[in-house]
Structure 1
């Protein structure tokens, strides 16, 4: 069943029409006036899709946490790959930087412009094809993640990439940052879910790598260059994504534990007993649960008493005969007998499962309401995760008494959002001014334990200098060489991920 076809020539999608634009040279060149460039872009994209009024620009210049505010000559809103290619060629020939933007839900400043133009993919939302036999879906980069999930569901399949901002995040942004989320344990990061890509290169050429192949060893795997590159090597305009059978049975449990080490012991036990049916294992410290109960409407304490740590566990299976609730309860019953856990509860319905998940997904909202937060998105080898949590928490409290560590997240794949909530009697601005000092404390421990300072949110602006500090010199050199080869003028999202040697990001 093919639901949609790839476009060719003139295309009509509802009331939206677009045209193939010529690959001929554009009448702009280095030194071209901004007015001349904008005129060419308006002629190609339509005047109402080249925004220059400051009020129209404002929403595109500030990142989610408002840590950065950028500047731009214009915001471009192309409706097709051909229009993206035209815009990139025009800007490149004029020497103007291009900063691609999806849903603007990033957390590292990766979409904040420092001059040039913002290229928003918000109009590129077409579902090109769903192929249940191939178990693939082909979508344009501006499609909302939730819409991708819904399209897969309508075809009787599952697209498993999922995170808190799925209602506004766009799939191109998730691919460009190699997003993770709550299903990595079972299905992998975005990188593991992409079969093929369509990418506009810095010179305006379009690489058509939209293959739905599970095996293809015909040379370099080029798509991997662009996944996680944050728009610095090319602009993803469409993707072929993997689909999976829809789970027939899903169960969620919330567990009380003595410590992070007990959480690790439980995870290893469940992994060995449940294998692929174990789809999520999320960790919460006591502080995380307490602020969720305090600030998130409808949140209810799931267990009697207090515990040293908590885990939210999900089991799911597509097998027709699967009973994951019975399977999970039997496993937790054995864990209780073995002294691995102190208490547990499981959802008896979809609504109860959702209520338990809200205790985990409500943590970011609760942290915002509790006060200023210095955030770290790290990963370490799973075996070292308890040591990291213990050491980093102790070191941060020693550096600032009254500070409240909140390390939570994707325990099963070694990824923790190690966030630090301000002391109750401290001004938010004074606390956030200490971000650099706590980066060094936390990241030194991560580095010593063989981990990564950027697990799933990307590098962007906020971690670029940290990557320079901790990154392997040979690896950094290779990244710079790739950047120079694919973007020799340093015009694609300049200043992000790796700093270009001996040159600053071009300004407007």
Structure 2
């Protein structure tokens, strides 16, 4: 059937979900067409804000009938342009923030059933009120939405102990590209009845369907916590300290983060509200222990880790938080790096992973490669050393000509990603592929991987209307 004129298309959409929930006009839709760092600007036909799974299904069916591309969007906190429309002006952004109900929270089963638009921090708070704990934690938790964290398989600072978002998902509710609602909101820990279909949608970045709700695992709430910050010489010492922590703390080790002196200095300059510790070093390691029982001597365990680090000439200095406020100050150093880097000027960002044992050599070789490319580059290296994920970011030289910046960015990217490949790592550890890294995987992953991804995409979305151009390119 032929498509209606654009005005009629939007009128039909407004009739489905209410005119006030279909945004048009450049000013109204601008916030939904730009990534949070202001680097990517797309153009959309409209922004639709459904309030229920039935309304999402109607939008998807409308999209199918009129061949209008859809771009699902959560809190728009992504870093690879996965939730931003392209420049064609044809797509409709489906913003899921109105779908923000916690449908159920079962303390016996330790499960929460939440809609896609629930803010991550809201789920954390609701779980805490019920005496439970939702472990996924990241810098954007005050604004990112559950649907987006599922679509990107978000990681964060607790992956070491609890795993990625994928590991928290028991079941999903998804609107498929043909408008059908797949009700996979199962809450079973064991269900071995064929393909585990939910995993196709986790990390698919909205290219196979729109996640509208999820059944998520909750965990025993920590009753005690201990936090320490240690300074070490380099990344080799940081890895050795992590190994010590793992040996001493075992399953109460919930976080092991690292950042360089350059990161600390950036926070000091551009986030002066963050308290600075007295210790100084080349690299800092932030350790957190959590236990469900207050009887476990977490401070003593941390003291043992640091003492062993001093004895083995790994740790140069260290401090253990004596209160929750002090612990938050130590975490403030780590959590404000991204914002401080943004304020410091243009940068090249890379979210990579390697085997943990390879991190010291990888970092050393990367720094040498950057120095050879452009001595004025300023590396900003931090991340989750306990799971092998580093954010290897580079501030551009001050006053660099914009035309040279683009060329240099490509050179830096090639140098770093070639080294990632040499260590059998990943060019996207936790941020996804989106538009930014979509084509890079053609070079850095086996061709069969891409062929299989395209086959899955064609099977689910043969018309290529679900977030087209993200994660995988259809040839």
Superposed pair shares fold, TM > 0.5: yes
CA contact under 8 A between 1:372 and 1:432: conserved in structure 2?
A: no
Q: What is residue 394 of structure 1 aligned with on the other side?
A: 368
Asked whether 1:77 is paired with 2:49, we answer yes
* Paired residues for 1:61-460 under 5 Å: 61-114=33-86, 115-304=90-279, 306-427=280-401, 430-460=404-434
CA contact under 8 A between 2:147 and 2:211: conserved in structure 1?
A: yes
CA contact under 8 A between 2:354 and 2:423: conserved in structure 1?
A: yes
Paired residue secondary structure (1:464): coil
Shift of 1:423: 1.9
CA 67–298 in structure 1, closer or farther in 2 if over 3 Å, else same: closer
Q: What is residue 57 of structure 1 aligned with on the other side?
A: 29
CA contact under 8 A between 1:372 and 1:428: conserved in structure 2?
A: no
Whole-Å Cα distance in 2 between the matches of residues 383 and 359 of structure 1? 25
Paired residue secondary structure (2:326): helix
CA contact under 8 A between 1:37 and 1:91: conserved in structure 2?
A: no
Asked whether 1:40 is paired with 2:2, we answer no
Q: What is residue 487 of structure 1 aligned with on the other side?
A: 461
Give a deviation string over 1:443-469, Cα, whole Å, max 9, x none. 000011000001100100110111122
Whole-Å Cα distance in 1 between the matches of residues 403 and 240 of structure 2? 39
CA contact under 8 A between 2:33 and 2:84: conserved in structure 1?
A: yes
Unpaired segments ≥5 residues, structure 1: 1-28, 502-508
Tell which deviates more after alignment, 69-78 or 427-436.
427-436
Unpaired segments ≥5 residues, structure 2: none
Give a deviation string over 1:210-240, Cα, whole Å, max 9, x none. 0011111111000000000000001000000
CA contact under 8 A between 1:283 and 1:310: conserved in structure 2?
A: yes
Whole-Å Cα distance in 1 between the matches of residues 62 and 387 of structure 2? 43
Whole-Å Cα distance in 1 between the matches of residues 407 and 115 of structure 2? 39
Whole-Å Cα distance in 1 between the matches of residues 155 and 2 of structure 2? 40
Whole-Å Cα distance in 1 between the matches of residues 191 and 451 of structure 2? 28
Paired residue secondary structure (2:148): helix
Shift of 1:336: 1.1
CA contact under 8 A between 1:303 and 1:344: conserved in structure 2?
A: no
CA contact under 8 A between 1:372 and 1:431: conserved in structure 2?
A: no
Shift of 1:72: 1.2
Shift of 1:42: 1.0
Paired residue secondary structure (1:104): coil
CA 267–347 in structure 1, closer or farther in 2 if over 3 Å, else same: same
CA 30–178 in structure 1, closer or farther in 2 if over 3 Å, else same: farther
Shift of 1:30: 4.1
Whole-Å Cα distance in 1 between the matches of residues 219 and 451 of structure 2? 38
Q: Give the TM-score normalised by the residue count of structure 2.
A: 0.97
Q: What is residue 3 of structure 1 aligned with on the other side?
A: none
Shift of 1:106: 0.5
Paired residue secondary structure (2:439): helix
Whole-Å Cα distance in 2 between the matches of residues 53 and 71 of structure 1? 11
Whole-Å Cα distance in 1 between the matches of residues 345 and 43 of structure 2? 28
Give a deviation string over 1:50-89, Cα, whole Å, max 9, x none. 1112211111111112221111111111000000000000
Shift of 1:421: 0.9
Whole-Å Cα distance in 2 between the matches of residues 159 and 309 of structure 1? 30
Shift of 1:334: 2.1
CA contact under 8 A between 2:104 and 2:114: conserved in structure 1?
A: yes
CA 429–303 in structure 1, closer or farther in 2 if over 3 Å, else same: farther
Whole-Å Cα distance in 2 between the matches of residues 121 and 433 of structure 1? 37
CA contact under 8 A between 1:371 and 1:428: conserved in structure 2?
A: no
Paired residue secondary structure (1:233): coil
Whole-Å Cα distance in 2 between the matches of residues 326 and 302 of structure 1? 21
Q: What is residue 21 of structure 1 aligned with on the other side?
A: none
Asked whether 1:497 is paired with 2:466, we answer no
